[in-house]
Structure 1
Amino acid sequence: MKLLQLTDIHLTEPGQTIGGREPNENFLKAMTHALSHHPDADAVVITGDLSDWGDEHDYQRLKQMLAGVDVPVHLCIGNHDNREVFLSVFPENADENGFVQAVVDLPDGTGLLLDTWGPDSHAGFYCETRQSWLNQKLAELPGPVYLFMHHNPVPIGIAPMDRIMLQDSEGFARVVARHNSKIRHIFHGHCHLPLSGSLEGIPFSAPRGTNHAGWPDFGHDSKLSGSDLPESYAVILTNGNSVMVHMVEYGYQGEIRREASPNYADWDRLTMVR
């Protein structure tokens, strides 16, 4: 199975920039790059911060952008979104409780899209109602299951970012711990950093995002840090017993050098390009 994860696309009014970059242009570049290099992808999942200010026009524009995409596209919402406004444009994405959650069939198991949005906060929330929904779905599904969410479910060790992580992390952890043999991987966004780790024995990962980039500034405790590192998306490969996640920095403008054979016999001090 091959999945493409895009995150933190932060659509704005066309022409407006974030960190000197135009989010609409970068999202279209990301989709074009991802689908042209990976036409065999089974699905695209966008893990939140679809809009920068939760504006209806951004969601309408996103709907238009995705209209011609042949690959299934699944959406999560993040802290920059607005659930009510999002669902006014994408009403089919609501679960039975009014959250933006869904069960999606994948070639290798099942994907669960989780809603970690909460009002008037950049932090994430996963209340008892959502925890109950997740617990029920995990109990019903045979596995493997892949979870997709916006907020990081564990601290990353950067103080200002940890203040806006998933606030109901202990309850979330208890739910996934009950079913950790079924859950193959957790994919999230939010931090604008390439991250990997584990929660209750379940691996998780996050790519940087399709527009502005963060920086792991461990020494600053009050301000989030940005950088001009390349925009990115993730390519997820599974084969039944393993998961591989690549972060593709499609915003990189430098040269790609095909300079070495993988065959040991071809490695020669005189002829190798180093």
Structure 2
Amino acid sequence: MKLIQLSDIHLTAPGATIGGRDPRRNFERALAHVLRDHHDAELMVITGDLSDWGDRDDYLWLRTTLDAFPIPTRLCIGNHDRRDVFLGVFPEYDDGGFVQGMHDVSAGRCLFLDTVEPNTHAGRYCDARQVWLQRQLTGHPGPFLLFMHHHPMPTHLGPMDRIGLSDGAAFRSIVGAHRNRIRHVFFGHCHLPLAGSIGGVPTSSLRGTNHASFPLFSETAMLSASDLPQSYGVCFVGADYVTVHMVEFGYDGPIRVEGSPEYTAWDRETMVR
């Protein structure tokens, strides 16, 4: 099966920009790119920071846009979102006062987690949410795909890790206890392509659809920013594998089609190098 991950779309008022980029326009560009190349995707998930300031108008615009989008879509919230405002527009996501839920696809069951803690950019997965996750993981045979906003493991980028998942060790312990039935964990928040594992389960992230970060290990106080291309993710889930791509739809340079995969076509004299 194929699924799409978008993250950190940071919607703003029409015409407003972040880092010189228009989040609404870039989100629309991402959707058009997805439909052009991946209209057959079974599900699209947006892993948080839906609105840059948690404005109701952003959520209303997002609801209208997604209602007209032909691929089924599920949402997580991030540290820039306001849970109460979001639920006022998307009440179907309310589960025990949190934005969490599940959706079955042909590859298994997707779980959507709420890692938001009010008044901080850091994430939290409190006792109540841990109980919810344990109940989901023990009450269904799986396999599972998990989606969340905050990074569940250290990035070793000092400023970024100060706004990571504050109770990450407890979360990783839950995931590790069910590692045989969790295929992959997808997250956002960092605006970076990242891969690793938690509790023995592979995890990955990507750049968002608007502004980008950079892994600047020499910076110890401030978060970094760059003009790297905007992106979304494409994931293929097979019976015995998971493949994840980051598609840089914001790249506007040339893309060359050259170099045959046939070994016999590799000729030192005639190949373009």
Say whether the fold is shared (TM-score over 0.5): yes
Aligned to 2:197: 198
Distance 2:35 2:106 in 1: 18
Deviation at 1:13, TM superposition (A): 0.2
Distance 1:177 1:15 in 2: 44
The one-letter amino acid of 2:19's match is G
Deviation at 1:256, TM superposition (A): 0.9
Distance 2:252 2:169 in 1: 41
Distance 2:206 2:192 in 1: 6
Distance 1:107 1:35 in 2: 20
Deviation at 1:91, TM superposition (A): 0.1
State how 1:39-54 maps to structure 2 within 5 Å: 39-54=39-54
* TM-score normalised per structure 2: 0.99
Query: What CA deviation, in whole Å up to 9, does each residue of 1:152-205 have, x standing for no partner?
Result: 001101000000000111111121111111100000000000000001100000
* TM-score normalised per structure 1: 0.99
Distance 2:241 2:65 in 1: 32
The one-letter amino acid of 1:261's match is S
Deviation at 1:63, TM superposition (A): 0.6
Task: Judge conservation of contact 2:187–2:204 (CA < 8 Å) in 1.
Answer: yes
Distance 2:267 2:176 in 1: 50
Query: What CA deviation, in whole Å up to 9, does each residue of 1:114-141 have, x standing for no partner?
Result: 0001100000010000000000100012
Distance 1:198 1:272 in 2: 39
Aligned to 1:270: 269
Distance 2:35 2:47 in 1: 17
The one-letter amino acid of 1:141's match is H
Long gaps (5+) in structure 1: none
Aligned to 1:150: 149
The one-letter amino acid of 1:109's match is G
Q: Secondary structure at the match of 1:213?
A: coil
Aligned to 2:253: 254
Deviation at 1:52, TM superposition (A): 0.1
Aligned to 1:9: 9
Aligned to 1:137: 136
Pairs aligned (count) = 273
Q: Secondary structure at the match of 1:227?
A: coil
Aligned to 2:172: 173
Distance 1:84 1:218 in 2: 36
- Larger mean CA deviation between 170-179 and 188-197 belongs to 170-179
Deviation at 1:227, TM superposition (A): 0.3
Q: Secondary structure at the match of 1:244?
A: strand
Long gaps (5+) in structure 2: none
Distance 2:118 2:39 in 1: 37
Deviation at 1:253, TM superposition (A): 0.2
The reply to whether residue 31 of structure 1 matches residue 25 of structure 2 is no
Task: Judge conservation of contact 2:33–2:249 (CA < 8 Å) in 1.
Answer: yes
Distance 2:71 2:169 in 1: 35
Aligned to 1:60: 60
The reply to whether residue 106 of structure 1 matches residue 111 of structure 2 is no
Query: What CA deviation, in whole Å up to 9, does each residue of 1:207-257 have, x standing for no partner?
Result: 111000000010111100000000000000011110000000000001110
Q: Secondary structure at the match of 1:177?
A: helix
